[in-house]
Amino acid sequence: MFRGSITALITPFKNGQIDWQAFDNLIEWQIENGTQGLVPCGTTGESPTLLSNEHMSIVKRCIAAVKGRVPVIAGTGFNSTQKTIEMTGFAKEAGADAALIVAPYYNKPTQEGLYAHYRTVAEAVNIPIIIYNIPGRSVVDMIPETMGRLAKVPNIIGVKDATADLSRVKKQAMNCGAGFCQLSGEDATIYDFLEQGGHGCISVTANAAPKLCADLHKAWAAGNKNKARAISERLMPLHSALFYESSPQPIKYALKQMGLLSSDELRLPLVRASEPARKAVDKALAGVGGLLEEKNTALRACG
């Protein structure tokens, strides 16, 4: 089962191309600071705007850079079932530990359509699959009963839950079983998500605060709830700032401010963070003690 702080990696761009040096440096910095897993090509990695060859190159590069030190969960979900099968098959062949598959966006499938989509992919590619349920972006919401049906498929092993509905954790456990891996997709709710029975978080914030995010989960696993709660409260202003507007706009700006990116460039239709968003991020970085102090370490990593 996947647990702890798992970073939903951003994709660095420079002059319209992937900045591979920044990508490699970010991976090393994440692992050095205790991150317990990495997700390349998720929606935080701007997967909808990546070309197919870019998507595959990022997955391969991440797996090669990680060298088995932490699990790599490749984002492989699209609103086409056939393309999802193709990308999931590629991720398996490349050596990914699992695939994160977002609910098909725009198509607006019914619950039966969602069931058929995930089951078809799982039967076509024998790799552990994590359902990514994010109604705010995909428009559809997989209900716990549908998830319970899919949990019976042997290689559908968990969910990234971005509903922000904490009651889902227990409902999904009831429908899917205690062994079903539940990972939060909402940074701001992580402490309460763990309290309800969750196992970890696929995190945007961990891009900028990998050590604090990892320490929160380590404290929780060690039974030190007070420490975990304190870290959660300390991170709250940063969680809020990083979702001031559409992610990954604010997190890319934050990483640039910390010296981990030379550019906060995004792919259209996303644009750089606005002035109000930048001010919110600057304030949050300054307020979360220790992050700006890590700036020199980040700069050294970037060479």
From the list 115, 118, 132, 253, the catalytic residue is 132
Cα dist from 184 to 106, 117, 159, 168, 187, whole Å: 23, 22, 8, 11, 7
Q: Mind giving me the DSSP string for 113-180?
A: HHHHHHHHHHHHS-S-EEEEE-HHHHS----HHHHHHHHTSTTEEEEEE-S--THHHHHHHHHH-TTS
Two tokens at 151? 């949990």
Among 10, 82, 19, 18, smallest CA distance to 42 is for 10
Question: How far is it, in rounded angstroms, from Cα 216 to Cα 220?
Answer: 6
Among 70, 126, 148, 135, smallest CA distance to 102 is for 135
Give the number of other CB atoms < 10 A from CB of residue 268.
6
Whether 283 sits among the annotated catalytic residues: the reply is: no
Whether 253 sits among the annotated catalytic residues: the reply is: no
From the list 160, 211, 252, 256, the catalytic residue is 160
Question: How far is it, in rounded angstroms, from Cα 150 to Cα 88?
Answer: 17
Q: Which residues are registered as beta bridge partners of 182? A: 159
Two tokens at 8? 């939903």
DSSP 3-state assignment of 242?
helix
Residue 139: burial class (beta carbons within 10 Å; 0-12, 13-18, 19+) = middle
- Give catalytic residue positions: 132, 160
